[in-house]
Amino acid sequence: MISKFIQNFKKKSLKERFLLVISLLNFLAFCALGLLLLFWDKLKLNLPNNLQLIVGCLIIIFGFIRFITQVKSLNTSDDE
């Protein structure tokens, strides 16, 4: 599975590889922001704890959905 991913990655153009790396960095940034909201108690936000947990989880899910849609759009552009 990983070797297939690496072969497909090498077949992509430079622009597609760049967009994939940028979308991966975007996903990691959203996950970091969500984890900060979830676990950093010293973060001074005027939100109740349960709302802070919900927002943190939603940010992580949003980052994951954005990453998946970006990968799907890059894969469909290969087929065209």
pLDDT along the chain (80 residues), means of 10: 69 82 91 90 79 92 90 68
pLDDT of residue 34: 92
Closest CA to 35 of 18, 50, 55, 12: 55
- pLDDT at residue number 78: 55
Tell me the pTM. Answer: 0.75
Q: What is the pLDDT of residue 30?
A: 94
Distance CA(5)–CA(42), nearest Å, equals 40
| pLDDT of 1 | 58
Q: How many CB atoms lie within 10 A of CB 30?
A: 19
Which ranges of 1-80 would DSSP assign to H, the alpha helix? 2-11, 14-39, 49-79
If DSSP codes are grouped into helix, strand and coil, which group holds residue 58? helix
